[in-house]
Amino acid sequence: MAGRHALVTGLVAIVGLFYLTSVNGLSCLFCDRAVNITDCLTQKAACKDVDEQCFLDKTILPDLTSVFSAGCRSKQVCALIASAVGKRDSVACAQCCDDPVNNKTLIPCNGYLCNQNPQPAGATCGVCDRVSDPKDCSVDQECQPTEVCKVNTVFSGGAIKYELGCEQKTVSYCF
C-alpha cells in the first residue's frame, strides 16, 4: 500500500510537467478535454527536448462520454502512467510516442494513439462495424461538413472491437 501511495504521490507531483512546450523537439497534437480526436488537429505543441514524448489520454467522464487530452509529456511520466493505466476507472487510455510526423497525413504520432485515426473535417472516413483493428477498415465514406470521423470501442463476443463511421459534430456546454 505504501509503495502504491508513493507512486501516486510521485505521479501527482510530476503530472503538471506534461503540458510544457517550447520551440524545439518533437511536434505533437495539443488539446485539453476535446470531445473528438479530430478537434485536436487545430493546435500543435513542440516538445522541449529529447526527454519529452507526445501523449494522448482518453478519459471517461461520469456521464460515460469520453474526452481527449494531448500534448508533450516527460518520458518518466509516460513510464509511470503506462504502469498505472487501468488502476483509475476514469482513464481509458494513456499512451506516449516519439515518432516523427506522418508524412502522408501531416498528423503527429499522438493522433494515432489509443486506437484513434483522426481525419480533417470533411474528410473521407472509414465505415466499418466491429473490426478487430481500425486499420482493418477498407470501406470509406465522405462525411458531411457537419460531421466528423468517429471510432467507437465495443466489447463483443469476449473481444474488443471497433466501429468506425461519421457522426454529427456536437458542442457541449457545462453550466
pLDDT at 121: 57
pLDDT per position as a tens digit, 75-92: 999 988 877 655 555 888
Are 118 and 126 a contacting pair, CB within 8 Å?
no
At 9-28, the pLDDT tens digits run 333 333 333 333 333 479 99
Task: Assign 3-class secondary structure to 51-106.
Answer: CEEEEEEEEECCCCCEEEEEEEEEHHHHHHHHHHCCCCCCEEEEEEECCCCCCCCC
Residue 33 sits at φ, ψ, to 5 deg, of: 60, 45
Beta partners for residue 153, in sequence order: 162
pLDDT at 90: 82
| Sign of the Cα pseudo-torsion (75, 62, 125, 128, in order) | positive
| Residue ranges of the chain with per-residue pLDDT less than 70 | 1-24, 84-89, 120-123, 145, 170-175
For the chain, the domains span 1-113, 119-175
Q: Report the percentage of the chain scoring pLDDT > 90.
A: 39
pLDDT for 167 equals 86
Q: What is the C-alpha separation between 111 and 41, in angstroms, rounded?
A: 8
CB 77 within 8 A of CB 15: yes
- pLDDT score for 56: 96
Residue range 1-113 forms a domain whose CATH class is mainly beta
pLDDT, residue 85, reads 56
